[in-house]
């Protein structure tokens, strides 16, 4: 089977040809709708189970498979493990509601791991990784073999605590505070210390709605409930887990990001009550 090898030429010449796999029909329809709406995608085929997906992959060519994990019969992890043994498989992107499989997904060789519900912005970032893979091969994306991408690129960040690894959803992070060579991720469930430079998180999380507001702080724009002044006349962004100082040089950018987020409805669905004026 020569799935990605044949598809790479078509990906370079035009849009990607992708397969969406999910056993839940509404979820599959929504994923297909998002993929069809992307300018990076030329064609979308769908499958409601892993065996049907495998037959479509073998028929090829396909650039990528957007794959659910929890399915009856053969699950997504088992299908991805089969694909990893093929000579030239399509790229695998997992789309799931469960964050705890992220480490296993990257060990298998997935290039991205999307948590439901998937936003158009997050999907675009995943498709960018797929395009880079299709154009230049696995080494350009993963650095050779099936090595995972850096944790700052993930939708769920692994945090070591008491000998156990816990995954903190990026969507749960309200703001990030620099502490030397580490950052502290502030979430409603508590604060979590991770060894990542703040500048790298700023680069990789910008597409997910995070904005630099201070030399020591990165803020999730959707989490801002209001802007207020502190005792010295400085600006604070209020979130449900604490206040974040906003430097004078970043204040205008933050207000523009808040206005843009409000226009897009990013404060709906419980992701904050909207910025105060």
Domain ranges of the chain: 3-142, 168-264
Residue owning tokens 């598809």 = 7
CA gap 30, 12 in Å, rounded:
26
Structure tokens that stand for 220 in this block: 């999730």
Q: What percent of the chain has pLDDT over 70?
A: 80
CA–CA separation, 206 vs 176, rounded Å? 13
For residue 72, pLDDT over 70 is answered with yes
Beta bridge partners of 156: 169
Give whichever of 104-108, 209-213, 258-262 has the largest mean pLDDT.
209-213
Mean pLDDT of the chain: 81
pLDDT at residue 165 in the model: 63
Instruction: For 162-192, write each residue's pLDDT tens digit.
Output: 556 677 888 899 999 998 878 899 999 899 8
Of 2-6, 32-36, 110-114, 180-184, highest mean pLDDT = 32-36
Alpha helical stretches, state H, 146-247: 198-205
Q: pLDDT at residue 207 above 70?
A: yes
Digit-coded pLDDT (tens) for 235-250:
999 999 999 999 999 9
The predicted model scores a pTM of: 0.51
Q: State yes or no: pLDDT of 277 exceeds 60.
A: no
Q: How far is the CA of 32 from the CAs of 40, 53, 93, 111, 209, in angstroms?
A: 13, 14, 14, 19, 23
Tens digit of each residue's pLDDT (9 = 90 or more) over 91-144: 999 998 877 777 677 777 788 888 888 888 889 988 988 888 776 554 444 444
User: At the fourth CATH level, which superfamily is domain 3-142?
Assistant: Response regulator (3.40.50.2300)
Give yes or no for a contact between 35 and 18, defined as CB atoms under 8 angstroms apart. Answer: yes
The dotted CATH code for 168-264 is: 2.40.50.1020
């Amino acid at each position: 089977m020569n799935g990605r090898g044949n598809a790479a030429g078509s990906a370079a010449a035009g849009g990607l040809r992708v397969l969406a796999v999910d056993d839940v029909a509404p979820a599959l329809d929504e994923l297909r709708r998002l993929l069809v709406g992307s300018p990076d995608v030329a064609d979308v085929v769908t499958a409601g189970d892993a065996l049907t997906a495998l037959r479509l992959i073998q028929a090829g060519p396909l650039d990528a498979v957007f794959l659910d994990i929890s399915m009856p019969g053969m699950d997504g992890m088992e299908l991805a493990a089969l694909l990893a043994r093929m000579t030239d498989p399509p790229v695998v992107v997992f789309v799931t509601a469960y964050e705890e499989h992220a480490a296993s997904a990257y060990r298998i060789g997935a290039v991205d791991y999307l948590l439901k519900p998937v936003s158009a912005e997050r999907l675009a970032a995943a498709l960018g990784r797929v395009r880079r893979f299709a154009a230049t091969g696995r080494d350009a994306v993963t650095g050779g073999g099936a090595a995972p991408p850096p944790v700052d690129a993930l939708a769920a960040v692994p945090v070591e605590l008491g000998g156990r690894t816990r995954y903190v959803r990026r969507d749960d992070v309200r703001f990030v505070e620099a502490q030397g060579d580490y950052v502290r991720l502030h979430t409603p469930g508590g604060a979590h210390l991770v060894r990542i430079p703040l500048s790298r998180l700023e680069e990789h999380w910008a597409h997910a709605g995070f904005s630099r507001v201070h030399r020591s702080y990165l803020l999730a724009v959707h989490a801002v409930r209001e802007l207020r002044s502190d005792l010295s006349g400085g600006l604070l962004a209020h979130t449900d887990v604490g206040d974040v100082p906003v430097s004078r040089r970043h204040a205008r950018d933050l207000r523009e990001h808040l206005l843009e987020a409000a226009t897009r409805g990013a404060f709906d669905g419980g992701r904050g009550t909207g910025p105060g004026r």
